[in-house]
Homo-oligomer: A and B are copies of this chain.
């Protein structure tokens, strides 16, 4: 399978009080259309989690498509919690591969500021199980804290070893012009930062921000008709789900949905994990990154944090992990994140990502997750 990336667009992520949800979506969408040389897409897929809770706006597919001038074609919203962006890409790939559309604009967008933090925290917690988790007072960070505590105890991993990840992310993100937080931090900064839900500290956590990302996907036929054939394609797509409630998982130190989604995507693309030059993975919290590196087969169980502390996955290594700065530093506008990742990997392969570069990258992977590993999408991108 080859679904070509004909255009990409990003907004800077931040607390953008002067921009509404449609402003953000339009900025990214028009950038992607411009980048493609002006392709007007046959269909629009919107990845978003929170518009119903925060903007009192459903019907977001028509809202965004018609709002940016694209009436008269299919458009709908795809929701999979923090994995909404990846699920929207998956849906866009499907629309192209099915022949229902020759070109699809996938827009991930989230507007999270303008609200008290407690309102946003409650809305985000809807990624967990409302009857079996939230009703009992669990928060989303609290559930991730259970996973981090279990992992650190089981494998004897220290606080400072875990901290190597956010330190690396801030170093990468510091030079990404689209990133929300562009400053370096130290191991000591992490250790001294406020406890949010023990053992998760503030500097283990991705920030709340607004942003939008867009990608214009086209079929082989449309790609051939362009003045220059796009150099990058999505060649593998995988998705898998697990129980939303943590209590029904077999163990807290595994994310089986990630392993399964990656297996499918890599198999479809005919790529082995060791061939990957660059990966963008879902580090909403430090523990997510550590577990996902292990599920991808890039680190042995219990070893990922230590490997990061020893320099593995840093710029120059293969694969380089999250040269964007990841959710921790680039930011995590939830329903947009999965689209940011695909755009960033595509730009690495094109050679025009404006932050930390992965020179000569040929193959990349984007992994987006919803809930505590309940929904995972993986896309493989290749130079073609």
Which residues from chain A sit less than 8 Å from chain B, CB to CB? 1, 20, 43-44, 49, 52-53, 55-63, 65-67, 70-81, 83-84, 87, 90-91, 93-100, 126-131, 134, 237-244, 248, 256-257, 260, 370-371, 374-375, 377
Given A95-B94, A98-B97, A76 contacting B76 (CB threshold 8 A) = no
Residues in B with CB closer than 8 Å to A75 are: 80, 239, 241, 375
Bound together, the chains give a CA A237 to CA B77 distance in angstroms of 18
Residues in B with CB closer than 8 Å to A91 are: 76, 78, 91, 94
For A47, the closest partner residue in chain B by CB is B76
Partner among B58, B78, B83 whose Cβ is within 8 Å of the Cβ of A81: B58
Instruction: Establish whether residues B59 and A370, one from each chain, have CB atoms under 8 Å apart when the complex forms.
Output: yes
Of A52, A76, A243, chain B has the most CB atoms within 10 Å of the CB of: A76
Residues in B with CB closer than 8 Å to A55 are: 130
Instruction: Establish whether residues A52 and B126, one from each chain, have CB atoms under 8 Å apart when the complex forms.
Output: yes
Partner among B62, B78, B131, B260 whose Cβ is within 8 Å of the Cβ of A371: B62
Given A241-B71, A242-B72, A78 contacting B78 (CB threshold 8 A) = yes
Nearest-Cβ distance from residue A261 to partner chain B, whole angstroms:
8
Residues in B with CB closer than 8 Å to A63 are: 129, 244, 374
Instruction: Establish whether residues A73 and B127, one from each chain, have CB atoms under 8 Å apart when the complex forms.
Output: no
For A95, the closest partner residue in chain B by CB is B94
